[in-house]
């Protein structure tokens, strides 16, 4: 059985294949998918439907098993993941000869599911931008608000020693997350790069030790 890279499988299929209804006989598709799924142990099922590393959602699997309707992309994804001919899952053939590139290509050609090369490249580019945007949003959500402590002025005026913290206490973890978020945003938003420069300038002036820590 082939062992696909789950992180790239969904991206590759969606970029090159049009998502269209593929079931020829919904009753047949339903029976076959239900049988295949019930033969898997819980660990294998959870791996396929994991929210972060899986290839298909639990909701989609539930729909396929209850309605027998499977899309072209899901037939290919499940076929490659479980070593089943996508044409068999869609009810186009009566026997499962396993998954291979020839079987996948035949399924795509017979159904007319292939994207034009130019459109496939644009789709892949769009998917990459969407993935980057999700990373930005996740980084922003992970940044917690800093905890500020009230500054106590010295009783007698005196020059503060070099590297003495004169700013509210900010954790290294917070600065790491903030710097990572700004770095990702800077690739798409011009003003984010300026924010990143100001962050380092601020740290170099006030907290050299933290500035060095997040380089």
The pLDDT score that the predictor gives to residue 12 is: 87
- For residue 28, name the pLDDT band (cuts at 50, 70, 90): very high
Whether 155 has a pLDDT exceeding 50, the answer reads: yes
Sign of CA dihedral 20, 24, 30, 34: negative
Beta bridge partners of 114: 17
Tokens of 54: 């899986």
Which of residues 80 and 202 earns the better pLDDT score? 80
CA distance linking residue 204 with residue 215, whole number of Å: 11
Following CA atoms 11, 13, 18, 19 in sequence, which dihedral angle do they give, to the nearest 10 degrees?
A: -80
Least confident of 47-61, 66-80, 130-144: 130-144
Residue range 60-70: mean pLDDT, rounded = 95
Q: Identify the helix (H) or strand (E) that includes residue 131.
A: helix 117-142
Tell me the pLDDT of the chain averaged across its residues: 77
Whether 154 has a pLDDT exceeding 70, the answer reads: no
- Residues 4, 81: contact at Cβ < 8 Å? yes
Most confident of 107-111, 138-142, 162-166: 107-111
Residue range 137-165: mean pLDDT, rounded = 58
How far, CA to CA in Å, does 137 sit from each of 131, 134, 141, 185?
A: 10, 5, 6, 9
Tokens of 14: 């969606």
* Placement of tokens 């005026």 in the chain: 157
Sign of CA dihedral 5, 132, 198, 142: negative
């Amino acid at each position: 059985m082939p062992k696909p890279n789950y992180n790239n499988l969904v991206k590759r299929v969606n970029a090159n294949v049009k998502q269209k209804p593929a079931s020829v006989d919904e009753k047949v598709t339903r029976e076959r998918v239900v049988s295949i799924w019930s033969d898997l142990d819980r660990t294998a099922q959870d791996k396929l439907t994991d929210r972060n590393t899986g290839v298909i959602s639990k909701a989609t699997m539930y729909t396929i098993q209850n309605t027998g309707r499977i899309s072209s992309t899901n037939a290919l994804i499940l076929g490659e993941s479980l070593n089943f001919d996508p044409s068999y899952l869609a009810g186009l053939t009566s026997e499962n000869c396993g998954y291979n590139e020839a079987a996948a290509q035949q399924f795509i050609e017979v159904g007319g599911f292939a994207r034009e090369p130019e459109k496939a490249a644009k789709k892949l580019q769009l998917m990459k931008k969407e993935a980057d945007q999700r990373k930005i949003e996740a980084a922003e959500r992970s940044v917690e608000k800093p905890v500020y402590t009230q500054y106590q002025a010295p009783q007698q005026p005196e020059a503060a020693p070099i590297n003495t913290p004169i700013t509210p206490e900010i954790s290294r973890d917070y600065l790491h997350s903030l710097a990572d978020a700004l770095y990702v945003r800077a690739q798409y938003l011009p003003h984010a790069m300026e924010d990143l420069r100001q962050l380092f300038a601020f740290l170099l002036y006030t907290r050299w030790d933290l500035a060095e820590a997040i380089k």
